Amino acid sequence: MSDTTTPPRTHPLVEGEVAPGCKKVDAIVVADGVVRQFGGLTAVDVEHVEIPRGMITALIGPNGAGKTTFFNLLTGFDRPNKGTWSFEGQSLAHVPSHKVARRGMVRTFQLTKSLGRLTVLQNMLLGARDQRGEGMFAALVKPLWKAQEQANTERADALLARFKLDAKREDYAASLSGGQRKLLEMARALMSEPTLVMLDEPMAGVNPALTQSLLDHVKGLKDDGMTVLFVEHDMHMVRHISDWVIVMAEGRVVAEGPPETIMQNQAVVDAYLGAHHDTDLGTLTNQQVAQIHHDADADVDADDASAPTTDASTASTTDADQEEGRR
């Protein structure tokens, strides 16, 4: 039986055939055999994955698929049971998070309570790298850290202007709306002049009125030559700004490809979206995505793939965001 919906098997970003774990023409991150277990649970079991340089890659999958854990491992915030990975051709296994950031790989963090008690500018300065005043000797030599403090403040101010947060410079970060917090997280990550920016759910808690501006800022990172890897449940964002999509389920990479192909993949469409094409990706259960893997292996007829029922899951917006949307 001929299948007219079969996606192309090649892609300019890929060497050879497009398939889970495929080799990229120019990879900035390469991970091999990365396993992380919590007790009896295997949260991450990535055999091989490569992130294309200079592109925007979305890492998607149902709740509990292992996306955040994989982020934590790559950036040195967690240790795997086994596995190796490299960034710009250099191994990053066993490298602590602050050194990972110095090498140019940064990730955003949700604005925690304690960071909320700092001003927007103070948050930005925390993101600067190689702060000379932190060394014991340098701390005693005022001109050394004074010049750097000034350079960092100038960089922070330029970034705050770019992200339209300059008017909030002296405000407590806790007073920002959900959307502004996301912008601050992104701006803070840029303080260390990274090559690869990893965004953890950049759309979570953001008022729909602000999503376009956020998308534009993420695209701006790519325009400036950075590579972006983001975890996201928001289908709109995945569809509209990513060059490449990697699908995880039960800790493994089960599919990857350009967004248009991933969205057309009948098994993925059935499993993720069912009849409701605007359904949040996070509503898929692990079993349903595991089915994608199984179906792809078995090459079953698309008719056999049954559309799943979905759990209700709605993104929340903060009070500040509602307020901002009204302004």
Ligand X SMILES: Nc1ncnc2c1ncn2[C@@H]1O[C@H](COP(=O)(O)OP(=O)(O)OP(=O)(O)O)[C@@H](O)[C@H]1O
Binding mask 66-105 for ligand X (x = CB under 6 A): xxxx------------------------------------
Contact flag: residue 109 with ligand X (CB under 6 A): no
Per-residue binding letters, 232-261, with ligand X (x by CB under 6 A): ------------------------------
Question: Closest separation between CB of residue 289 and ligand X, Å?
Answer: 10
Q: Which is nearer to ligand X, 63 or 86 (CB)?
A: 63
Per CB under 6 A, the list member of 64, 133, 274, 325 interacting with ligand X is: 64
**Is 282 or 308 the residue whose CB approaches ligand X more closely?**
282
Applying CB under 6 A, does 202 fall inside the site for ligand X? no
For the record, the structure tokens of 54 come out as 């200079």
310 binds ligand X (CB under 6 A): no
**In what helix (H) or strand (E) does residue 38 lie, and over which residues does it extend?**
strand 27-38
Q: Does 279 bind ligand X (CB under 6 A)?
A: no
Least CB distance to ligand X at residue 286 (A) = 8
| Under 8 Å between Cβ of 239 and 215 | no
Q: Report d(CA 327, CA 309) in Å as an integer.
A: 38
Query: Nearest Cα to 72, choosing from 104, 102, 107?
Result: 107
158 contacts 94 by C-beta, under 8 angstroms: no
Q: What are phi and psi of 57, to 5 degrees?
A: -110, 130
Give the integer Cα–Cα distance in Å for 117 and 112: 9
Return the number of the residue (21 or 64) whose C-beta is nearest ligand X. Answer: 64
Indicate which single residue of 18, 31, 34, 43 sits in contact with ligand X (rule: CB under 6 A): 43
Residue 110: closest CA among 51, 188, 12, 32 = 188
